Amino acid sequence: MVFIPGEGVDSMLNTKDLVITLLKERKYDEIAEMVAGDRTRIRYLRRLLYEPGTLLCWRAIEAMGVVAGRLAEEDPQAVRLILRNLLWAINEESGGIGWASVEAMGEIVSRRPDLYGDYASIILFHVDEEMLRRGVMWAAGQIARARPDLVRRYIPMLAPYVDDPDPVVRGYTLRFLGIMGEKLDREQYGHLLQDTSIVPVYEDGEIRRVTIAELALACTNCR
């Protein structure tokens, strides 16, 4: 059980520090309990989405999924409000300044695709936005793990990004295709097996650094 004092200035600082501590320890259920007690506390996770690429940001994304899963049991509409707010952050001034909001949306959908699967297409259609493309491809992979049927029809739209100029986009596209069990044609995409660009992949609570070649090899070995 997590003890949270009142929400004065000092208490807000204490809550922020506690959330960060719990993220470092991956105690997401305790964070979910905090947010269930006062839903405004989700702001402490959302603020960390503006630090893309950091381990703390990735864990905040993961925690958002756990929190949403908990809230969905009590109030499914509350999670829809969270998704709408994240979508607003993505679309604000058409600049995609929501940073890791896309990844967070994907994580939430992957936790409860039965309730929020309709957001899958909304997320994926943002792939045209260059600033959001990394997040969209990551989210596609997360959703694919939970409910591949929600994203299968978008494979023709997403697959060409294996040749995107951004190596992270290339890597996350390969990751998505691998999760979907899609096999790359070695003749057409053999160049990816020689691509030594490094891609950060968040997995099991840590950031692994893998090459495009490794991700491509996994795809050529699918099926």
pLDDT digits (tens, 9 = 90+) for 123-150: 999 999 999 999 999 999 999 999 999 9
* Structural domain includes residue 24: no
* Structural domain includes residue 71: no
* Structural domain includes residue 90: no
* Structural domain includes residue 195: yes
Domain with 185 in it: 154-223
* Structural domain includes residue 51: no
pLDDT digits (tens, 9 = 90+) for 84-125: 999 998 887 445 466 899 999 999 999 999 999 999 999 999
- Total domain count, the chain: 1
What is this structure's pTM?
0.91
Tokens 């939430």, residue?
108
* Structural domain includes residue 75: no
